[in-house]
Amino acid sequence: MNISEKEIEGIVRQVIAGMAVSEASSGMVIDGKTYLGVFEDMNDAIDAAWKAQKKLYDMSVEEKEEIISAIRRLILEEAETLARLGVSETGMGRVEHKILKHRYVAQKTPGTEDLVTEAITGDKGLTLLELAPFGVIGAMTPSTNPSETVLCNSIGMIAGSNTVVFNPHPGALMTSLYAVDLVNRAARSVGAPENLAVAVRKPTMETSDIMMKSPKVRMICCTGGPGVVRAVLSSGKKAIGAGAGNPPVIVDDTADIQKAGRDIIDGCTFDNNLPCIAEKEVFAFESITDELIYYMSQNGAYLISREQMRQLEGVVLVEDKKGKKAINKNWVGRDAKKILHEIGIEVGEEIRCVICEAQFDDPFVQIELMMPILPIVRVPDIDTAIDLAVRAEHGLRHTAHMHSKNIDHLTKFARAIETTIFVKNAPSYAGIGVGGEGHCTFTIAGPTGEGLTSAKSFCRRRRCAMVDSFRIV
């Protein structure tokens, strides 16, 4: 049978139209773009993820790794788009740093290789300890690292044969939805099931409550402030909570002061101090403080006076409902240049950080600012430095840093502070594998003990015993 060119063209058009309808029906159209995995109703999102998980669970390790590889490739392709979208929507952070963060998510987030089976053998046979999925995981993500957290979590959760329902921060909604769509586009490109990652179009406290109470959601993962973490921990389900921090830095008189000045500013200003691991306050030996300030100033820091500090306090801090000082969220993650402009100081683009000398009880020391403002407290000795640093960290046990060549000082501080991450003689971001060893994550679960989460964090341990069999010795 001969088919004309016109008939072929008609068939092609019908196929394309059918594909378009199929694509539109599997997502939500927002401002002319179809976002795969996005639902109006939280219950519908959960149902879709639940069905997808059954399919994912039946897939081989090789097939799941193929999905993850596709996600990695697409993140690298769209790193700049994600970065610009995040900065544009939230007003926080720096595009160049968010590009780097997405690249590290793609390159250093563990996949299926993180899931290692253990075996116990003896005279009585063989016992296997394997990592199994929870099923559907509910996740709440922040506005500070929105797409980074969605993508990092998705890779780890999918590697463990879980699907995930996101209730993203409303302040970074479109960035988060774009990331969810990316996961599903990557999965679709390799023939994987749809809705491996889903989200709701309008996340609220109500949708969060539905997610936490749903019997189909077996685990909750939260990256956010103390209030949200507390809610997750009271859900009655297995919970991973990544909470706030106020990471201190100690610089003693044995440190390479030039390197310390550079590293601290590099870490503090990475994405304008949005990462919870970033340096928030410095405790420096009196004998080296002036030198440290000099080298900080050589690396993009601007020193302000006590009077200017109080002016700045009136800008970046507000009173909460209880009358206590709290951060003005309008200034979180803003450029140092813009912050200084607000108090009448004009500087060039080379200025990345505002530094100031402060007393221990100053609100700049006690409050996690999450902006490139770094207070420096002079201390006479290591014992005072450790005491004040531990108190300033508020028992959050998140992250701490130290610049020193004295092993005794390093050991003493590490033991006293008990943080999940402890970085020695490097910028803070080395603690999540950026310029340092180890895997990358944007969910650092100090409160619940998982630490730097990875695929195995989202799995449960199962045990299988075979008595008097399966041994060859």
pLDDT digits (tens, 9 = 90+) for 230-288: 888 888 899 999 988 999 999 999 999 999 999 999 999 999 999 999 999 999 999 99
Of 22-26, 212-216, 244-248, which range is least confident?
Answer: 22-26
pLDDT at 31 over 80: yes
The β-bridge relationship of strands 217-223 and 238-242 is parallel
Does residue 122 lie in a domain region? yes
Residues 90 and 106 in one domain: yes
Residues 230 and 255 in one domain: no
Beta-bridge mates of residue 127: 120, 465
Does residue 359 lie in a domain region? yes
Does residue 144 lie in a domain region? yes
The β-bridge relationship of strands 281-285 and 373-379 is parallel
CATH code of the domain containing 429? 3.40.309.10
Alpha-carbon distance of 431 to 446, in angstroms, equals 14
Q: Are 179 and 36 in contact (CB under 8 A)?
A: no
- Dump pLDDT digits (tens) for 391-400: 999 999 999 9
Q: Which of 388, 396, 139, 172 is nearest to 274 (CA)?
A: 172
Question: Average pLDDT of 77-87?
Answer: 98
Does residue 136 lie in a domain region? yes
Question: Average pLDDT of 335-358?
Answer: 97
Quote the percentage of the chain above a pLDDT of 90: 88
Question: Average pLDDT of 131-140?
Answer: 98
CATH code of the domain containing 42? 3.40.605.10
Count of domains observed in the chain: 2
Does residue 14 lie in a domain region? no
Residue 13 banded pLDDT, cuts 50, 70, 90:
very low
Residues 234 and 340 in one domain: no
Does residue 188 lie in a domain region? yes
Question: To which residue do tokens 């019997």 refer?
Answer: 215
Residue 290 banded pLDDT, cuts 50, 70, 90:
very high
pLDDT at 225 over 50: yes
Amino acid at the residue 73: R
pLDDT at 358 over 90: yes
Alpha-carbon distance of 45 to 39, in angstroms, equals 6
Residues 147 and 104 in one domain: yes
Does residue 373 lie in a domain region? yes
Residues 204 and 255 in one domain: no
Quote the percentage of the chain above a pLDDT of 70: 95
Q: What is the dihedral of CA 358, 362, 364, 367, to 10 degrees?
A: 150
Residues 208 and 301 in one domain: no
Residues 201 and 305 in one domain: no
pTM to 2 decimal places: 0.91
The string of DSSP codes covering 172-184 is GHHHHHHHHHHHH
Q: 130 is in which domain, residue-wise?
A: 33-243+453-462
Alpha-carbon distance of 17 to 14, in angstroms, equals 5
Residues 286 and 399 in one domain: yes
Alpha-carbon distance of 266 to 256, in angstroms, equals 15
Residues 239 and 253 in one domain: no
pLDDT at 1 over 70: no
Residues 39 and 188 in one domain: yes
Alpha-carbon distance of 158 to 193, in angstroms, equals 11
pLDDT at 52 over 60: yes
Beta-bridge mates of residue 137: 164, 219
Residues 155 and 288 in one domain: no
Average model confidence (pLDDT) across the chain: 93
pLDDT at 26 over 70: no
Does residue 271 lie in a domain region? yes
